[in-house]
Amino acid sequence: MKNSKHNDAAGRVIVVGAGASGMMAAGRAAEMGAEVLLLEKTERPGKKILISGKSRCNLTNSKPLEHFILMYGANGSFLRQAFHRYFREDLLVFFRDYGVETKTERGGRIFPVSDDAGDVVDALMRYISEQGVKLKHSISVTGIMTTEGRVTGVRSDREIFPASSVIIATGGATWPGTGSSGDGYHMAEALGHRVTGLRPALVPLVADNEDLAKSMQGASLRNVRLTAFQCPAEDIDVSLTPGADTGRGFSTRPPPPVIESRLGEMMMTHFGIGGPISLLMSLSVVDALERGPVSVSIDLKPALSREQLRLRVQRDFDRFSKRSYRRILAGLLPGKLIDPFVFMTKISPDKPAHQITAAERERLLDLLKSLRFNILRPLPMTTAIVTAGGVSLKEVDPRTMGSRLLSGLYFCGEVLDIDADTGGYNLQAAFSTGYMAGEQASGKNIIKLERKVKS
């Protein structure tokens, strides 16, 4: 293995990984005056940014800071200092300066006006180039070199690169085709850092009754309440379904055995459930699966109590007494749920409404208020949007992103034990921690943490 030409490591910062956090860290370290080398495993930087937000890149969110922090669950407070240093307004000014105007959409989600994630990557590329960052792609870092408690450089599949500071910005372990395949976790562990349980978050969930799920495949369910319970489906006590959202990201704690409950949109898939509220609840479900059986209940008519729904259904039966059961269902359900409901309620699809018995009507109400599935597992990590778990925050200084174990070592982005809901929070965390790590690793710093966040 040959040594890099630049053998003088003094003051040099190496950033491992040219994703969102790594490019921000490299640019900022160089802006502070450091010599910066950015090493990227794949042939091009920012591959995950390019697929983010369905290639539109939801880069941050307009929610106030206190709400923002809740989106990261129990570990959110670790980000306070990074957000005090560099938050949404700084990020938006940064992108505006590089020609990326932004717009705010439903739920406070902020996107480039162009709806093109490529513009975000281009802006970051121009930033690092203007600051004089040296970028080397197609180089896979394999380990961090240390002497006497401080880093001295990195080993790669090709060369050794000396450095006085190293920032690990290798991302998580999802969508490995983007280059983020979990390498940073191994590097951190090899240096004595603890990596907390890695698991998929924002991931579709597999149901035990795949045939039933498959029969509903493609059904888009809007304005439904999805509630996850820590018990088998047959033991669900539907009276415990909360009337308001509760769980991760909300200030209220769900009453056991409820794990989490959300109102919104979801999808039936050929293996189970997916779509917005299902993805948001998936980490709570994944964690609960470690403790025991988990099931979900879908209230397809959450705006109506059972009594109100009974009146509404009976009114339809009375008004359209000659209509077939199938046609009545068409007025109550998305098309893709009609056949499965016929099957599950065991009522003939041709039966005229006036012949439907009270017992049959109650069977229909049971399903409309609580369509249930046992959840077996999440889809694999590689398909998740984000990795939960990561480098333990106990061993990273939140004021600097520096390792508490090794001098000259820094972390930023998804490699840390940080993950959040959808909505732009994961990228904001990557940019904010990257900015802070770059600034601190430059060695030129000045901790300036007193600046107030513009929220």
Ligand X SMILES: Cc1cc2nc3c(=O)[nH]c(=O)nc-3n(C[C@H](O)[C@H](O)[C@H](O)COP(=O)(O)OP(=O)(O)OC[C@H]3O[C@@H](n4cnc5c(N)ncnc54)[C@H](O)[C@@H]3O)c2cc1C
Instruction: Give the footprint of ligand X on this chain (CB under 6 A).
Output: 16-22, 39-42, 47-49, 51-53, 57-58, 140-141, 169-171, 174-175, 178-180, 183, 385-386, 413-414, 424-427, 430
Q: From 282, 225, 224, 233, select the one nearest 257 (Cα to Cα).
A: 233
Token reading at 114: 């162009």
In the complex, the smallest distance separating the C-beta of residue 296 from ligand X, rounded to whole angstroms, is 23
In the complex, the smallest distance separating the C-beta of residue 48 from ligand X, rounded to whole angstroms, is 4
- Rank residues 227 and 426 by Cβ distance to ligand X and give the closer one: 426
In the complex, the smallest distance separating the C-beta of residue 385 from ligand X, rounded to whole angstroms, is 4
CB 373 within 8 A of CB 233: yes
- Rank residues 229 and 435 by Cβ distance to ligand X and give the closer one: 435
CA distance 31 to 37: 13
In the complex, the smallest distance separating the C-beta of residue 22 from ligand X, rounded to whole angstroms, is 5
CB 110 within 8 A of CB 87: no
Reduced to 3 states (helix: H, G, I; strand: E, B; else coil), residue 312 is: helix
In the complex, the smallest distance separating the C-beta of residue 435 from ligand X, rounded to whole angstroms, is 12
- Rank residues 146 and 370 by Cβ distance to ligand X and give the closer one: 146
Reduced to 3 states (helix: H, G, I; strand: E, B; else coil), residue 14 is: strand
Q: At what angle do helices 20-31 and 425-441 cross, to 10 degrees?
A: 30
In this structure, what are the phi and psi dihedrals at residue 39, rounded to the nearest 5 degrees? -105, 125
- Rank residues 26 and 258 by Cβ distance to ligand X and give the closer one: 26
In the complex, the smallest distance separating the C-beta of residue 185 from ligand X, rounded to whole angstroms, is 10
The Cβ of residue 97 has, within 10 Å, a number of other Cβ atoms equal to 11
CA distance 367 to 329: 12
- Rank residues 70 and 344 by Cβ distance to ligand X and give the closer one: 70
- Rank residues 98 and 320 by Cβ distance to ligand X and give the closer one: 98
Tokens 């049971």 sit on residue: 366
Q: At what angle do helices 88-97 and 425-441 cross, to 10 degrees?
A: 80
- Rank residues 50 and 367 by Cβ distance to ligand X and give the closer one: 50
In the complex, the smallest distance separating the C-beta of residue 418 from ligand X, rounded to whole angstroms, is 9
